[in-house]
Amino acid sequence: MKGFLYFSGSVFRWAPQKPGQFLMFHAYILLIYVLTFAAQSASGLIFTLGICAPLFFAICRGLPTDCLDYKSAIKREFNS
């Protein structure tokens, strides 16, 4: 339960702390929905690739294996 509360709190702190990332994330989601609506014949493929692309990009860039461990996330947040 502590982990869920920590990560939900991080979501609420993210917007005011890093507004550029927050706006870029929402612009990306809006772009995926617009592309899916525009290409209705292949919408499932475009939507799936659009959702999976950031995850694959993060893995290629070195996503840490403990990214969902709330104790290590707390250490990373308060050390920086």
**Tell me: the pLDDT tens digits for 28-78?**
888 877 777 777 766 677 777 877 888 788 778 877 666 667 777 777 777
By the 8 A CB rule, do 36 and 47 touch?
Answer: yes
- The two tokens of residue 64 are 């840490």
CA angle 5–8–14, rounded 5-degree value: 135
What per-residue string of b and e applies to 20-31 under the rule 16 or more CB within 10 Å gives b?
eeeeeeeeeeee
- The two tokens of residue 16 are 């005011």
Q: How far is CA 75 from the centre of its chain?
A: 20
Q: What is the mean pLDDT of residues 7-22?
A: 80
- Check residue 41 and give its pLDDT: 65
